[in-house]
Structure 1
């Protein structure tokens, strides 16, 4: 279960990176003349890097991966339509919620947008369903797996937090006053927080739960007393003093056997497969012909 979720997070991030590369590659179509292609995108002393050089490098590094991602997506859509396979919205929502609460670095501010993540989750579930559509798992085996792994389907309360960390209480009090006078929490975090990792994200530290060991227990204790959008008084932490802001909360939930039955069937079936889950399995059936010939990788 955990391995599957981790794969989904990685897949979503890869998709977003590929989409970014695809965006830049698409600029080739806009470059309809030598003048545009020769436009300098950087200068180093008397030397320049042209837009065309940049695009050529992007295509060399990412072109194949971007195209494969696009082909795989179309293949999954075609095969799902052929075999009349659909994924229920509640299945997508459940996976999305579990990703948010299980991987506490998963932050709404860091993702491109919720829609893109859910599209990738749906695509992943469609592929899993396609690969395992002919596999039958007995109800007894499914229930046994569920009982042995029941805790994996308990989604805990999760709090989406941002913080500002400064060295002294005086600095924390000053920051608190600035917030009270209308300053942006995110802007203050970028300007004042000594936690460089989160400061670059406007103080955003994603979702944390009771099991989170990255942050003091006081963070969660403080968050539970806050209303959404509100921030705390200065609290003492190892690095100095912190101000905590509650960005949002996801209430915990326990999923029943009936709710995750299909998920269990896919997971058991995938664990039994000797080959990794890949849309390339259906390329021949979908009659794929692409720029890189017969090579599917």
Structure 2
């Protein structure tokens, strides 16, 4: 077999190439992956030497793919996907409970619902370290941005294991002080007289209320922020009507439920992990613990 044309570059060069493709410039890519710009430039140069063609042209706005670079993107991403699959498969073979599990959930869930659940988890499994990613984005579990995700939407990837744990009741609330200040009875006819608290770029609330026949737009919100904690605190401090978990609002006697129950639908709770990691004892232990305690939390809503 003639191996004279076989390339000998290593995987790190492909990673460097994909980083520049993703971020559009060597400087931005180096910052994103924690490398120095000279190191990344040398890796790109080494890959270009192996390929025998330039992969990027350098301009004022960053790095632009050449025709040779464009041709390399798809197979490079295939290599990346294969490497991730290999990593996932290898992680699934670990039989030790010692190590780290990375969990992602929304800001409200991470701040107010998870701490007691994770405290009991740490007591039960002291060798498991936890990393919490508190945000509302759908982190890609297949690329190991998280091991387990708690989300309010059903995942679409068929390579993930997902379990519907139940639904969290939602409500629309305002502080007693705010309602006393407005001194207007709330009704569908007067709802335009009230200040509303909602998301800025995230359309979730608008889509949800529209499906229930309540028309809101981004401009309907006098206070807008995509961070749930900011919206929650704004509601507590009397800035208007906001949205939140019924079981969480029950902890704050200064809040009054303003919206009728049928205006805000329940929020489904999905627990998700990659299929390969489900067979990892450490991931399984955390997954099962979260499922057990979140289901108990959901069931406790009956008392609210």
Whether TM-score is above 0.5 comes out as no
Tell me the TM-score normalized by structure 2: 0.21
Tell me the TM-score normalized by structure 1: 0.21
More strand by share: 2
